[in-house]
Amino acid sequence: MIGIAAAMMGLIGLVFALFLVTANKRFAVETDPRIAQLEEAFPGVNCGGCGYASCAAYAEAVAQKGEKIDLCVVGGDDTTREVAHVMGVKVSDEQKDKLVAVVFCQGDSEASAFPGVYKGIPDCAAAVYSQDVAKRCKYGCVGLGSCVAACPFDAIHLSPTGIPYVDAEKCTACGNCVIACPRDLIEIHPLKHDAFVYCKSLDPGPIARKVCKKACIACNICVKAAAADENPDAVYMEKNLARVNTQNYSAKPEYGEKCPTAAYNSNCNSIRKDEVMARLEAQRNAKQAVEVGAGES
């Protein structure tokens, strides 16, 4: 009895197994094996920094629609190299630069305090829409930390005086804080460039000076310094605000030495930048050494 029962169950199982094997071949779904490899290469945090809903969606776009390979800002240099390896393409030099978020305001509670107190919803956008902000400058940081809340990597924090600063070590340039800031004070720039006018005030000089001690007052000193250095493209003046040319990133920190309000500055609003720079430099040298060594042998 047991023998027959076992044989029958075995037979039934076998028949269905064969049926499923045939069905599996008949209904096999062809997937690109590179998609799985790309998903492995991506960090898998689904931050959306690349513009796709998830790492899987970006992997699919890279493999099938020929999307750019350097959009993953979280993985940065290393991920781009891996993706290039999977896709069999070369990484160009400009794709190797690490990017970080840069906060373009120095108007903390000491430089640009407002006598009133904001008591609304603790959200920058809400404060801006209600025209009831905690700072005097109408272009400056509200200091309520919407960018801090938006950061999925714990890379941006508020200083005690109410200005966000970026941790270059943790920042992945995903751009969530850029979107969160209602006054567009945050931008993504290459880590190695560190000379900027940390101000976005479009107020004419006298007013800007009145509302904030660290505002750009459109005095043209940095523009003249750039011109004197035979580099007139580096800094330009537009709508009462000196701006560093971000097409070529040729501005040097020295142009800001005579800035009367220290709006033109370097390495402002960020920490651990030098450490990260040094580490990346060391890594790059090590890799080059390996590549040279491999070439010789």
3-state secondary structure of 236: strand
Query: Which H or E element spans position 188?
Result: strand 186-190
* Parallel, antiparallel or unpaired: strands 99-103 and 241-244: unpaired
Q: Are 199 and 104 in contact (CB under 8 A)?
A: yes
CA distance 218 to 199: 11
The reply on whether position 9 binds another protein by CB under 8 A is yes
CA distance 213 to 217: 10
Stretch that binds another protein, among 4-12, 55-63, 162-170, 225-233 (CB under 8 A): 4-12
Residue 18 or 292: the one with the smaller Cβ distance to another protein is 18
Q: Which of residues 27-66 bind another protein (CB under 8 A)?
A: 27-29
> What is the number of other CB atoms lying within 10 angstroms of the CB of residue 97?
16
* Minimum distance from residue 16 beta carbon to another protein (Å): 4
* Minimum distance from residue 231 beta carbon to another protein (Å): 55
Residue 24 or 297: the one with the smaller Cβ distance to another protein is 24
Place of tokens 């028949």: 15
The reply on whether position 4 binds another protein by CB under 8 A is yes
The reply on whether position 8 binds another protein by CB under 8 A is yes
Stretch that binds another protein, among 3-11, 65-73, 224-232, 249-257 (CB under 8 A): 3-11
The reply on whether position 13 binds another protein by CB under 8 A is yes
The tokens of 123 are what?
């959200």
* Minimum distance from residue 44 beta carbon to another protein (Å): 19
Judged by CB under 8 A, which of 3, 23, 195, 264 binds another protein? 23
CA distance 98 to 48: 17
CA proximity to 199, closest of 248, 135, 250, 156: 135
> In Å, how far from its chain's centre is CA 69?
16
* Minimum distance from residue 13 beta carbon to another protein (Å): 6
* Minimum distance from residue 66 beta carbon to another protein (Å): 21
The reply on whether position 12 binds another protein by CB under 8 A is yes
The tokens of 207 are what?
């007013």
Kindly list the residues in this chain that would bind another protein in the complex (CB under 8 A): 1, 4-5, 8-9, 12-13, 16-17, 19-20, 23-24, 27-29
